[in-house]
Amino acid sequence: MSVPMSMAATVVLYPSPGIGHLISMVELGKLILTRHPSFSITIFTTTTSFNTGSTGPYLRRVSSTTPSITFHNLPLIPLDPASFPSTEAITFELLRLNTPHVRRSLLSLSTTTTIAAFVIDLFCTPALPLGSELNIPSYYFFTSSAGCLDCFLYLPTIHQNINQSFKDLNTDLYFPNLPPIPAADMPSPMLERNSTEYECFIDFFNHMPKSDGIIVNTFEALEPRALKAISAGLCVPNGVTPPVFCIGPLIASGEDRGGGGGDVEECLTGAIEGDCNRVGEEWAEVFVGGAGSTHANPGAFGIARPRFGFVAPGRFLGPDEGEGDGGPVVGPAGGGAAARFGGWVRDSLRVELGVGSRVRWGSDGGVLAWPLYAEQRLNRVLLVKEMKLALWMNESESGFVTAEEVEKRVTELMDSEEGKAVRDRVKAASEGTREAMREGGSSRVALAKLVESWKQS
């Protein structure tokens, strides 16, 4: 692997299957190219024998618009979904079996270019040792919050100190510099201790400190307490914590989200950046981004009030889709626009894959935190109790959120003192976002340090 750096250098990105993981890595690649155009980006993509959604149109669009990003498709490994207990389990096995293909691809690529860095996501941990073997600096790209990273790095320590499943623990768990988190709010695939998924995740978390660094899609001013705990080594008490590079936020917009683009997409981006304009004086904009799940209750969206309106993206993704259809839906509740989610249809709403429910009022914003699966319950605790950027949504015993609860929380967000405080903090966070991403801002400096370390390795 003694290719001179005078040759063209590429950064290899390796996401796990699925459009969401792919988009995140593409956006990281675009950011690197924007600031450091001398690099090229190579993204390894995984072919699956089970349904992870369509990515073809997205890949073709990125290839045509960003020629410095190339995609390398790894060979198909046939697996029978019926032989695995969950999507996570079959995905983990696929990525484990992928590792020899990844190794051969890295070796082949290294004969024609310098591989400046190898960046993987959490699920691709089986490929991490390849970095040391081939003398390539290897990093994780962590797309969730620093608070979530704090938890994940510390979970092996908690694992050593308890012997029960999280689902059976009626108690809080304590992580460095974070509020107490109910054991039942741990990521859903980890709730059962004696499961393949739990075992794999603990193994992933144990490997993260062995990387050359962790790239996080956040910015320093947003999560100072969690980042302080990580940098002080509190989350890996019996090991060495690698450097953390907060380069975010990365937000795909327009067609790069896999959607239809347009003003509605810009408003969704504006929910973070604070740039979305008021739809009207008499009603609020309510963006609903639910994970693709049939657990969503249509009745939960039955807010037929003149002052409420629903705005959703021009395209949406169903539980097993990578493509959507239709145009933007903008209008007051009861406006008659068709909506589709899973198997049900309801007027005036379209639901997109995402995390939580976002509500905007004028140029201010806030979040109603309604988790559905994966690590979203953990994210809710962090959003509400740590970052204080959201209001808690209470589920019924069935796991649904009722229409009355949605109405109550939307009204609270818009009209109460607590809601105003949340909106003020969201506004401050959006200002912090712009500060972090501008020239000389913390995220730009972190990216520069990261790339400089590649050039010196």
Q: For residue 442, what is the enclosing H or E element? A: helix 442-456
Under 8 Å between Cβ of 290 and 351: yes
| Cα(214)–Cα(296) distance, integer angstroms | 34
As a whole number of angstroms, the distance between CA 234 and CA 223 comes to: 15
Which of 21, 36, 101, 185 is labelled catalytic?
21
Using an 8 Å Cβ cutoff, are 82 and 193 in contact?
no
Q: Which amino acid appears at position 411 of this protein?
A: T
* Whole-number Å distance between alpha carbons of 284 and 277: 11
The residues, any chain, with a CB within 8 Å of residue 414's CB and separated by 6 or more, are 284, 359, 361
Pairing of strands 138-142, 114-120: parallel
What tokens were used for 307?
A: 């002052």
List 36, 101, 121, 256, catalytic entry: 121
Backbone angles phi, psi at 331, to 5 degrees: 165, 165
- Rounded Cα gap, residues 10 and 68, in angstroms: 9
Instruction: Report the DSSP pairing between strands 213-216 and 308-312.
Output: unpaired
How many angstroms separate the Cα of 4 from the Cα of each of 42, 191, 202, 214, 254? 18, 48, 38, 26, 39
State CA 74 to chain mean position distance.
Answer: 23
Helices and strands: H and E segment counts in the chain: 12, 17
Q: Catalytic site residue 21?
A: yes
- Please answer whether residues 308 and 286 qualify as being in contact, where contact means their C-beta atoms are separated by less than 8 angstroms: yes
CB 70 within 8 A of CB 11: no
Look up 121 and say whether it is catalytic. yes
Q: Residue 213: what residue type?
A: G
The two beta strands, 390-392 and 329-332, are unpaired
Which residues are catalytic, by number?
Answer: 21, 121
